[in-house]
Structure 1
Amino acid sequence: MPADPSPRTAPSPPSPSSPPSPQNRGSGTSAVEVRRSSRRRRTVSAYREGDRTIVLIPARMSEAEEQRWVGVMLDKLAAQESKRMLGDTELVARAEWLSEQYLGGRARPASVRWVTNQNTRWGSCTPAEGSIRLSHRLKGMPEYVVDYVLVHELAHLLVPGHGRRFWELLEAYPRTERARGYLEGVVAAGRLPHLPGAGTGTEPD
């Protein structure tokens, strides 16, 4: 592993040695503020402060490294937060909210639940029943990734298959490409087996 700062989340008080550099990045609507410190040598940490995310990095870090580590820490915080949320009841409420937000409320799932028998799919749905199932392997992933899979399956309640009209619906969700990239990274890391005829394995069905 390269000798990069080791990520760890810590709600520690900041001790910047240079002015903070706010960025218009974030998880959801949260802004990100990067604070550099000459006292930090290797560690990177992050915490929530109201509607902002504070990322603390070593002063010597390059701009490219800063951008990379901000992304890493946002995903790490989101993954930690998603572990504390969304039981089956919350999944239904979340799906209904996402439908209203991105699909005009047209997708109305009858049930949404976690399942443990989907090892080659992130999600699936049965339009005739209005049921959506999410793989338990999504638990602990960033919230925007779970939301993407939910929106993906909600869109299938309206449009079967993965044609142009389906992807036009998905364009309404602003973090589609980032979520797909995250899932592709999981596959690349070898955490999801590739099956013959299953494509990349990164898309819900």
Structure 2
Amino acid sequence: MRRSARRRRTISAVWQDGRIVVSVPASGTAAQEKAWVETMVARLTAQRDRQATEHGPEGLVARAEALSRRHLSGRARPTSIRWVANQSTRWGSATPSRGTIRLSTQLQGMPDWVIDYVLLHELAHLIEAGHGPRFQALLAGYPRLAEAKAFLEGASFAARRGLTGEHAED
């Protein structure tokens, strides 16, 4: 737990080095702090467990099938989707001849709509190999296309500069 003199009413919690760090107002009582920490730990743990299910192999396939049906008329049918840690410059990759998709573990923890965009991008590659007009047309129906691209550009920019988004003091 981190007490912050700058905080007046808000509480935040983040995963940091495999542990949950809860930032609370320094003016809180011991009972309030205990309740805040319990609430935030429960919330982050539940979120992690839900994401592990949704972002596990079966969850990724289900998401891909739903995205393919919704945006690609069901034409993209991946044979496997998995997380990989060896993609430092790409968010995802696809091998159309094998129908495989790999997603960078760097996406984990990003908003679902960003992960869905990358997954849809790779699904589109199972249909169209390049990034030409036909490929772009496949992605055009994604409602948060520009927002997801901007988010990933910002994340890439921050990563290149070693920025983590974590503050020394809340």
TM range (shorter): 0.5 to 0.7
| 1:85-164 superposed matches below 5 A | 85-164=54-133
Q: Structure 1 unaligned runs (5+)?
A: 11-76, 194-205
Matched, 1:169 2:131: no
Find out whether 1:178 has 2:147 as its counterpart: yes
Deviations 1:31-69 (A, max 9, x none): xxxxxxxxxxxxxxxxxxxxxxxxxxxxxxxxxxxxxxx
RMSD: 2.6
Amino acid at match of 2:93: S
Are the structure 2 counterparts of residues 9 and 157 from structure 1 closer, same or farther at C-alpha, using a change threshold of 3 Å? same
Task: Quote the Cα distance in structure 2 between the aligned partners of 1:6 and 1:182.
Answer: 29
Distance 2:10 2:117 in 1: 25
Which deviations, in whole Å up to 9, do the C-alpha atoms of 1:91-150 show, x marking residues without a partner? 111101110011100011111111111111000000000000000110000000000000
Letter in 2 for 1:105: G
**1:187 — aligned with what?**
156
Which structure shows the higher helix fraction? 2
Query: How does the TM-score come out when normalised to structure 2?
Result: 0.64
Residue type at the aligned position of 1:99: S
Q: How does 1:49-68 map to 2 (within 5 A)?
A: none
> Contact conserved, 1:92 with 1:112, CA < 8 A, in 2?
yes
Q: How much identity, in percent, do the aligned residues show?
A: 55
Whole-angstrom distance in 1 between the partners of 2:156 and 2:145 = 17
